[in-house]
Amino acid sequence: MSAKRPVVIAAARRTAIAPRGGALSRFQADELAAPVLARLVADGGLAAGQVDHVILGNALYGGGNPARLAALRAGLPPSVPALTVDTQCCSGLDAILLAVRMIETGAADCILAGGAESFSRAPVRMHRPQRPEVRPVAYARPAFAPPPFEDPDLADAAARLAEERGVTRNAQAKFAMHSHAKAAEATEILRRRLVRVGETGPDLDTFTRALSLRTAMRAPVLTGTCDTGLSAATIACEADGAAAVLLMAEDHRVDDGRPALRITGGLSSGGDPATPALAPIGVAETLLARLGVGPEDFSAIELMEAYAVQAMVTADTLKLDPQRLNPLGGALARGHPVGASGAVLAVQLFEKLLRCGSRPEIARFRGMALIAAAGGLASGLVVEASSGTIRDRPSTKAEKD
């Protein structure tokens, strides 16, 4: 059996994230993704024809192929194939993992992978009736698990978890407050890195704010009990956005001294559909065991904050260091563009690598991304600094901008 080819993230970009109906609401998912893909090609110093494949996650469109539309809008040649993946919240990270496997096996050398979602422009979903005289019936979401499995609403499942584990509203509110604080502190870092959509698109995540504990506690309970219930402050808002990475075979990449992340582990797995919030725990434990490392060995861990309680229980179970958890802020502070959220985590890890500062720090960098999805799915990615990425070099104009 031939050895796997090492794969690196050579570049990573995303748009700003904006709540549904907000600053990005006029753009379709592919329109959000296109400028990100084009920027990655430029970041990598590639000709558009050097891209072998485009793979994007998308959860809400339920048809078509947004990845193909995005690739063509980005100026890639029509000969470049494109694939759209739907594993709901895991879609963006699963798209990256699929691309990694393709490169590892030699099926491709260079792939653009990530996710795109427009909550604002997603189609209205309706069940087609069996008889022509019956009107179609609209529905909010499809089934994620068939009988006899439980298929709870995700917010209700998170509220049940909070009650079972005794995670109070106050504790959840404090967690959300810290997420916003970290995101606000990273404002200038992100302003220089986010890709603007159109001429007037935002250059910052628009939901991030100075959230006080008092304000968070005043938010009404949306589901659950008075003591442990979930509110608008502790549930990530529905959002629009896109994120992607440039993946390359390490031996195919020209070593120009730019930082890169080598993929050292990745896993998509499943758990009990009744408790979807807990699925990332098993993924993380498996990845850590395979690599022979512990949570303390990571410089940064990006954990999806769809619900504060979900992230809190996962972090507590895995004994994650709060200082290394979502260091640039989490989804509670920016929003949840479902099919893109997993890819956002990968982009955040790359950004954290760039901001490590000293060369020894970069050389020791190791990161992990974890996300859960409806139906009891979860995905994880482990990365470390690629060798040959710490040479001194002047910043390019694009990076300064």
- Is 237 an active-site residue? no
Q: What is the rounded CA–CA span in Å between residue 4 and residue 154?
A: 37
Report the number of secondary-structure helices (H) and strands (E) in the chain. Answer: 13, 14
Residue 383's H or E segment, with its range, is strand 377-385
Mapped onto helix, strand or coil, the DSSP state of residue 257 is: coil
Which of 189, 191, 183 has the alpha carbon at shortest distance from 211? Answer: 183
**Are 115 and 293 spatial neighbours (Cβ–Cβ below 8 Å)?**
no
- Is 89 an active-site residue? yes
Q: Which of 89, 110, 237, 356 is catalytic?
A: 89
Number of Cβ within 10 Å of residue 286's Cβ equals 14
Question: What is the DSSP-derived secondary structure letter of residue 325?
Answer: B
Which of 250, 279, 280 has the alpha carbon at shortest distance from 263? Answer: 250
Q: Which of 53, 178, 180, 336 is catalytic?
A: 336
Q: What is the rounded CA–CA span in Å between residue 333 and residue 187?
A: 12
Angle at 349 between CA 343 and CA 354, to 5 degrees: 130
**Are 280 and 370 spatial neighbours (Cβ–Cβ below 8 Å)?**
yes
The dihedral built from the CA positions of residue 117, 123, 126 and 131, taken in this order, carries a sign that is negative
> Annotated active-site positions, please?
89, 336
